């Protein structure tokens, strides 16, 4: 019955336009909910639970897609991408380094680091993702460890070790508490070590447009599974290879966006320096050094790559 009524309700809503005053009030409520969901220190509990469930579904049912290890081009190029484009550091630097992949997903970056000869510790909140990462890096003759833990609680699970590189790609903007997660990450960066973050940038989407996407995410959350599939397929124009990527965009309610300045300030307050955007883009690709960066600039860092970037390949 619920499924039969939904099309009728949508049809009635199209026939009856909302009074402008009422629409403004509803948009104000959406904005309030948006702010509660995206609170930097402590996102709404319900939204945090929903976001975790969204990724549980993604890694269980949509584990293949563009720019994952199931993508032959990406798998063949991931080591180069990490060295030349993301980190912009000579390939020789990675060998023997201890790296924490914080929010590893199903292992695409951990695979690249292991291929470069680095020792990899991979963590993620999702057990399925961690197990896939374990399988992905198993063939490499490097030290490796995997843990299931949210970033806000790393110290509860990880041994008190510090790393040459703490790498967190596309995760912090989904965390329940960004500030707690960043504080945890910083504990594990050794003196002279690096921190690397990829975050959604405010330059990519205005607040107004972001609010409209947020409304779509709320509607997506209320859809039945088959409706979600149809929605994603329509957005993908029938291309199944895009379903993972689109689910990543529409499913999690917590999708914060940041200005570079606020992240730079947060990292500098945490003792990081030489905070740099490695890739010229409206999203945020950020590298920082704990301590003196002189040796990195003299010996290891390479010039910034110009477009096209790896994520524009397909």
Domain map (residue ranges) of the chain: 40-314
- Pick the range with the lowest mean pLDDT from 28-37, 70-79, 179-188: 28-37
What pLDDT score does 6 carry? 52
User: What mean pLDDT is predicted for residues 50-61?
Assistant: 91
- Is residue 198 classed as helix, strand or coil in its secondary structure? strand
Q: What does the pLDDT average to over 263-276?
A: 98
Q: How crowded is the C-beta side of 138, counted as CA atoms within 13 Å?
A: 8
Q: What does the DSSP 8-state code read for residue 139?
A: T
Region of poorest pLDDT, from 47-51, 163-167, 307-311 = 47-51
Token pair of 47, please?
Answer: 């939204």
Say which residues have a Cβ less than 8 Å from residue 284's Cβ, sequence separation at least 6: 197, 198, 199, 200, 201, 258, 260, 263, 277
Residue-level length of the chain: 314
Paired tokens of 232: 């994603």
According to DSSP, residue 296 is labeled I
How does 46-71 read in b/e, with b if 16+ C-beta sit within 10 Å?
ebbebbbebbeebbeebbebbbbbeb
pLDDT for the residue 40? 84
Contact 167, 83 (CB under 8 A): no
- Give me the pLDDT at residue 2, please: 43
Predicted local confidence at residue 34, as pLDDT? 79
**Which residue is it, tokens 């499924």?**
3
Q: Which of 88-102, 106-120, 210-224 has the lowest mean pLDDT?
A: 210-224
* Residue tagged 């975790």 (tokens): 52
Token pair 């959350």: residue: 221
Does the predicted model carry a pTM greater than 0.85? yes
Average pLDDT over every residue of 243-258? 95
- Six-digit token pair at 134? 């374990």
pLDDT score for 45: 82
| pLDDT surpasses 70 at 27 | no
Give dist(CA 204, CA 245) in Å, integer.
17
Collapsed DSSP state (helix, strand, coil) of residue 293: coil
Fold (topology level) of 40-314: Rossmann fold (3.40.50)
């Amino acid at each position: 019955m619920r499924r039969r009524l939904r099309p009728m309700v949508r049809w009635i809503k199209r026939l009856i336009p909302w009074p402008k005053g009422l629409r403004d009030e509803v948009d104000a409520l959406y904005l309030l909910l948006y702010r509660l969901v995206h609170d930097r220190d402590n996102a709404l509990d319900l939204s945090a639970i929903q976001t975790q469930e969204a990724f549980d579904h993604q890694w269980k049912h949509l584990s293949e897609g563009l720019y994952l290890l199931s993508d032959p081009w990406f798998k063949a190029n991931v080591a180069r991408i990490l060295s030349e484009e993301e980190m912009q550091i000579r390939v020789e630097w990675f060998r023997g380094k201890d790296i924490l992949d914080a929010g590893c997903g199903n292992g695409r970056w951990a695979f690249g680091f292991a291929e470069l000869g680095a020792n990899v510790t991979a963590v993620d909140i999702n057990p399925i993702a961690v197990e896939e990462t374990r399988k992905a890096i198993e063939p490499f003759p490097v030290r490796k460890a995997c843990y299931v833990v949210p970033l806000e609680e790393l110290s509860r699970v990880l041994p008190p070790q510090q790393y040459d590189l703490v790498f967190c790609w596309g995760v912090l903007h989904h965390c329940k508490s960004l500030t707690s997660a960043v504080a945890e990450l910083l504990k594990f960066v050794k003196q002279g070590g690096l921190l690397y973050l990829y975050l959604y940038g405010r330059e990519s989407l205005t607040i107004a447009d972001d609010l409209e996407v947020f409304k779509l995410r709320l509607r997506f959350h209320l859809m039945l599974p088959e409706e979600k599939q149809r929605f994603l397929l329509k957005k993908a124009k029938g291309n199944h290879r895009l379903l993972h990527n689109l689910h990543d965009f529409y499913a999690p309610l917590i999708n914060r966006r940041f200005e570079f300045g606020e992240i730079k300030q947060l990292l500098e307050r945490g003792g990081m320096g030489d905070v740099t955007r490695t890739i010229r883009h409206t999203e945020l690709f950020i590298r920082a050094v704990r301590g003196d960066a002189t040796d990195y600039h003299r010996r290891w860092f390479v010039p910034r790559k110009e477009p096209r970037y790896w994520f524009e390949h397909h």
